[in-house]
Structure formats: structure tokens, C-alpha cells
Amino acid sequence: MKITIIGSGYVGLVTGACFADLGNTVICADNDEKKIDMLGRGEIPIYEPGLEELVKKNKAKGRLVFTTDVKKATRDSTVIFVCVGTPPREDGSADLTGIEKVSRTVAESMDAYKLIVEKSTVPVETGEWVKDTINRFKTNDCDFDVASNPEFLREGSAIKDFMNPDRVVIGVESEKAGEILKALYEPLNTKIVVTSIKGAEIIKHASNSFLATKISFINAVSNICEKVGADVTSVAEGIGLDRRINTHFLKAGIGFGGSCFPKDLKAFIHISEKLGYKFDLLKEVDRINEMQKDLLMEKIARLVWNIRDKEIAVWGLAFKPDTDDIRSAPAIDVIRRLVKEGARIRVFDPAAMERSMEELKVEGIKWCKDIYETSDGADCVILMTEWNEFKEVDWDKLKKILRQPVIIDGRNLYDPGKLKAMGFRYAGIGRN
């Protein structure tokens, strides 16, 4: 098939490269000229394992091209995937101006039947607005369908997730749209859930909100564990081995971040309220998540006393390992708070340094080349992201270079017993 992707970011680029690899001809369009220039030169603007190879391979085979001409890209394909950002607004609602703009552009360039597929995460009833916008602005009297096909890939394992999904969700209102999308996903050999557009839109928001709820639940349990000296990691195992619950997303930590969970949770709360239902359960999920960062600040103060003038080593910036994405990353928020309280920060992340430098334009941060340079002379280490390369640490060396042997393990990555026996003061999340 000939496919156009509008919006070539984390989701659009992975979707485009994967569909091309499945044998389709894909045009990836984006209005960011710098991004398209880079992609044209074979450079990948984001860090995502395996993506560079996949893009290069499919570009070389002529199945993947990049353009800033969204109108032509629309005319040249039948299936148009909309993958632009839907960032949060101040009140928690999703900013859908990008979706509206693209809908208008598609309407103005359509010259034959088009299937416009929402892949961006959008609140329920966005499909209605997309249809309405296209009907109002189309300049040719051609047929079109709108569909919803939410994306569930995770940054860091995006290609694997796209190619081996647990399920594909398709929200359609016509048989033709359903048949096109089913044919497109057939090679993935997975369960396809066909529902209405509204159903598909709700599935995405509800899935992310449910996963966020699991994380906040175990974080709440971790606070009880801490109070009585139990270890949340074994408590979580004991809960999660029940197959009805399962162990995924039951890891206590400093709270969820990233470009999806916080934003989608808030957007789901907002749209529910707009529709007349107060989703208080999800408000509490959000509150618990924010509280995890307050508790982390309290832990730091408990172990180093005054934060002012302390040298703090932060290991990890990305919201999770194997990505350079720092959108709503807890590390960024915690660094801002520490700097505000007068701490000096030394920081290292294997992939997210450049993005963080752009984001954190504050005084008092030293950007280091590894965890040892970060820790040299520091009063406290805080592990924020559980990168694989942070798993093996030369603890003897670390103890020698730290001013105070204090470890705050925000991801419960290390063995508290071992570190305490070596003379470190250790605090994890939900275990002492």
C-alpha cells in the first residue's frame, strides 16, 4: 500500500519505518524542515534502538521517503496516518490544534478517496471533529473515511512493540476503512480489535490511565512498606504473581513520567469531566504520582540534612532507559527543585544530555561524562533512570570519590544490604 504519515516524531517515524519494512511505500511528512533535512541525510533526530538501521534499509530500497510537502504527500497516498503531537494544555486537556491543522490541510489537498487515521492519542469525540473539519474545508467532492488506530509502542522498544503488539485496535465506521486497516496489519499476525472510532479513542486513554493507576497503586503501597520496614519489591512480587494482576507496572519508584502517562491521564480526567463524569480515582493517581517527588526530596533532606550548598550527583535524566525523551521526566523536575533549594548538581545520562541542556537552562549544573565524574566530591547520589550501564557499579571506587557515601535509589536497582554493609547510607523506595 501507499501510506502517508503526517508528523514524523517518535510515533510517526517508527510507524513509517515499520510499515515500509513490511513492504509498503511510505511517505513521512513533517513541517519541521530541520527534521526532514536530517532524515533526508540519513540522520535520525531521536534516540531509539534499531531505528537508524531500519530507516537506512528502507530508504535505500526506495520504500521510505521524507518531505515537508504535506499537501503533496496527502495526494500521493490513500491512507493517511496522523501522528502529530497532542501536548497537554495548562488545564490538563489535550491541545488538538495540530490535529485540526492537519485535518484542514488534508481536506484542502484531497483529490480522491482518503482514509484518514488518527494515530495520535486524542480524547474521545476527536474523530467527530476531524470529520466535521474535513467536510467543511474539502475543496473536491471526494469520499473519505476517518478511523482511529491508537498506538501502544513504548519508547526504547518501539520497533519491537510495533512489530509484535499485544493487539491492534481499529476504530472504524465503514467496512472499507476496516478492510484497508486489517490488510495493512495482517502481516503482524496479531489479534485485531475492531470497534467504533469513539471506542478506540477511549481504549487508548483508558489503557494508559490503567497502567498509571498500577504504578501509583504500588507507590502508595511502597509508602506503607517504608513505614513498617517491609520491602516493596517482595510485596510487589507476591501481588503480581497472581495472574489476574501480573507483575508488569508494579515497580515502586519516583513516579511515572514521559510524554504519555502524565498527559493522557490528565486528558482523560479532563474529557470525563467535560462529559459530566468526575473521574476522582484518576485524580488520586495523579496526586500520588506528584507526591512521590515530594517524598524523594524529603529523603534527600533526611540523609544529607540541609540541601543548600550540597553537591548532588544525579544518575539519569530520561524518563526511562533506552530513550532520550525527557518530557515530564521526574529527574528534570527534581533537579529544578534541588537547584531552587541551593544545591549544586552534577549529572550524567547516556542519551538525554543534549535535550536536557536545552531544557534546563539553569545555573549550578555540571554536565559530566559518566557516573564517576558525576559522583566526584558529591554528598549524595540519586539514581533517577535505571539504565543498564548503571547496574554494574564499582562501589569501592565510588565510595572513595564521594564526599559522603549516600545513595538514594529511586528505582530500587541496588542491593540495600550489600551497600549498607559497605558503609553506604542507602534509601530506596518502599524499602529501607
Residues labelled as active-site residues: 260
Closer residue to ligand NAD (CB): 65 or 260: 260
- Residue 2 burial class via C-beta count within 10 angstroms: exposed 0-12, middle 13-18, buried 19 and up: exposed
Burial class (CB in 10 A: 0-12, 13-18, 19+), 145: buried
Query: Of 158, 160, 121, 129, whose CA–CA distance to 146 is shortest?
Result: 129
Binding mask 45-74 for ligand NAD (x = CB under 6 A): -------------------------x----
Measured from the CB atom, the residue of 146 and 260 that comes closer to ligand NAD is: 260
Alpha carbon distance 317, 319 (integer Å): 6
260 is an interface residue for ligand NAD by CB under 6 A:
yes
31 binds ligand NAD (CB under 6 A): yes
Q: Does 393 bind ligand NAD (CB under 6 A)?
A: no
| C-alpha–C-alpha distance, residues 317 and 304, integer Å | 21
Q: Is 183 helix (H, G, I), strand (E, B) or coil?
A: helix
Residue 417 CB, shortest distance to ligand NAD, in Å, is: 36
CA distance 127 to 125: 5
User: Is the separation of the CB atoms in 198 and 171 below 8 Å?
Assistant: yes
User: What are the residues facing 49 on neighbouring strands?
Assistant: none
Among residues 71 and 425, whose Cβ is nearest to ligand NAD? 71
Cα–Cα distance measured from residue 305 to residue 303, given in angstroms and rounded to the nearest whole number = 6
Neighbours of 178 (CB within 10 A): 17
Our finding on whether 30 is near ligand NAD (CB under 6 A) is: yes
* Among residues 3, 5, 11, 384, the one that binds ligand NAD under rule CB under 6 A: 11
Residue range at the interface with ligand NAD (CB under 6 A); choices 84-92, 131-139, 185-193, 414-422: 84-92
Nearer to ligand NAD, 32 or 333 (CB): 32
Query: Which residue in 28, 35, 130, 236 binds ligand NAD (CB under 6 A)?
Result: 35
Contact with ligand NAD (CB under 6 A): which of 3, 5, 10, 256?
A: 10
Identify residues 90-149 at the interface with ligand NAD (CB under 6 A). 98, 101-102, 120-121
Residue 32 in contact with ligand NAD, rule: CB under 6 A: yes
Whole-angstrom Cα distance, residue 262 to residue 279?
Answer: 15
Count of residues that interact with ligand NAD, criterion CB under 6 A: 27
The pairing of beta strand 311-315 with beta strand 344-348: parallel
Tell me the window of 81-89, 228-236, 336-344, 355-363 that interacts with ligand NAD (CB under 6 A).
Answer: 81-89
Nearer to ligand NAD, 12 or 316 (CB): 12
CA distance 301 to 201: 43
Distance CA 263, CA 95 (A): 10
CA gyration radius, the chain: 23
CB of residue 35 vs ligand NAD: minimum separation in angstroms? 6
Q: Contact with ligand NAD (CB under 6 A): which of 259, 289, 374, 412?
A: 259
Segment near ligand NAD (CB under 6 A), from 80-88, 226-234, 303-311, 343-351?
Answer: 80-88
The Cα diameter of the chain in Å comes to 76
Residues that bind ligand NAD (CB under 6 A): 6-12, 29-32, 35, 70, 83-86, 98, 101-102, 120-121, 151, 153, 155, 259-260
